[in-house]
Structure 1
Amino acid sequence: MRVTSAWRATYVPALAVRAGDSVTPGRMDDDYPGWQWVTNASGLGGWIPASLLEGGRVASDFDTAELTVHPGMIVTSLKTRAGWHWCRDRTGNEGWLPASHLAPT
């Protein structure tokens, strides 16, 4: 995919959760429907797909890392969730990008 708009990783460090982890659910994202803010026991927060929450537990492993990119870059989309793509750039870095910032090549 071709990056059409710049994106900068928003939350560093990113939150990585494992299936069964306890989290504190927070607000739903107004800009990206289907995503919910969660906070782990250490106080680190991040956005995860709301569909992965079962009460206060995470149903499957998830990494909230985002990828910093600039227009014109080529990335490979490896999976999608709720309007976002998990992408790999040509140097091997991986992270989430909003679909609105990508176009097919």
Structure 2
Amino acid sequence: MKYIVITGHKSNYPNPIEFHIGDKVTIGEMDTEFEGWIRTTTSNGNVGWAPIQYIDFDVSSAVGTANQDYSARELDTVVGERVILICELNEWCLVRNQDGLVGWVPAQTLATV
């Protein structure tokens, strides 16, 4: 599905977390702004937000196991830019821009074309 950027987005995370199926991660607090995102620390000590759906864990443990590959890379966008939706999850969209770059942007910054 094609979208147009109606509000530009600039990433605040120059070193996004990344994990792969089976990786162990440490989990922290839930995001209070975007429901469904959890503070996650990867095995290399990098900290960032990940979709709770991508991590299997017991609420009594601070350690989880990734059930999907994931990169928290956000895409910088400008108003009027066109992107293609890959998936939407927890009020964020994973998109590909016209240069082939892939990253997450807040769903509220996009409108269908």
TM-score (norm 2): 0.88
Amino acid at match of 1:10: N
Partner residue in 2 for 1:31: 33
Aligned with residue 75 of structure 1, among 83, 88, 110: 83
Unaligned runs of 5+ in 2: 58-63
How much is the aligned-residue C-alpha RMSD, in angstroms?
1.0
C-alpha displacement of 1:12? 1.6
Partner residue in 2 for 1:98: 106
Q: How is 1:2-21 mapped onto 2 (pairs within 5 angstroms)?
A: 2-21=4-23
Q: Give the Cα–Cα distance (whole angstroms) in 1 for the partners of residues 71 and 82 of structure 2.
A: 22
* Secondary structure at the counterpart of residue 108 of structure 2: helix
Displaced runs of 4+ in structure 1, greater than 2 A?
none
C-alpha displacement of 1:60? 1.1
Q: Give the Cα–Cα distance (whole angstroms) in 1 for the partners of residues 82 and 31 of structure 2.
A: 27
* Secondary structure at the counterpart of residue 36 of structure 1: strand
**Deviations 1:65-87 (Å, cap 9, x if unpaired)?**
10001111111111111111111
Amino acid at match of 1:41: S
**Deviations 1:37-86 (Å, cap 9, x if unpaired)?**
10012110121111222121111111111000111111111111111111
Q: Give the Cα–Cα distance (whole angstroms) in 1 for the partners of residues 11 and 90 of structure 2.
A: 18
Q: Give the Cα–Cα distance (whole angstroms) in 2 for the partners of residues 25 and 35 of structure 1.
A: 11
1:87 aligns with 2:95: yes
Task: Give aligned-pair identity as a percent.
Answer: 30
Give the structure with the higher percent strand. 2
C-alpha displacement of 1:10? 2.0
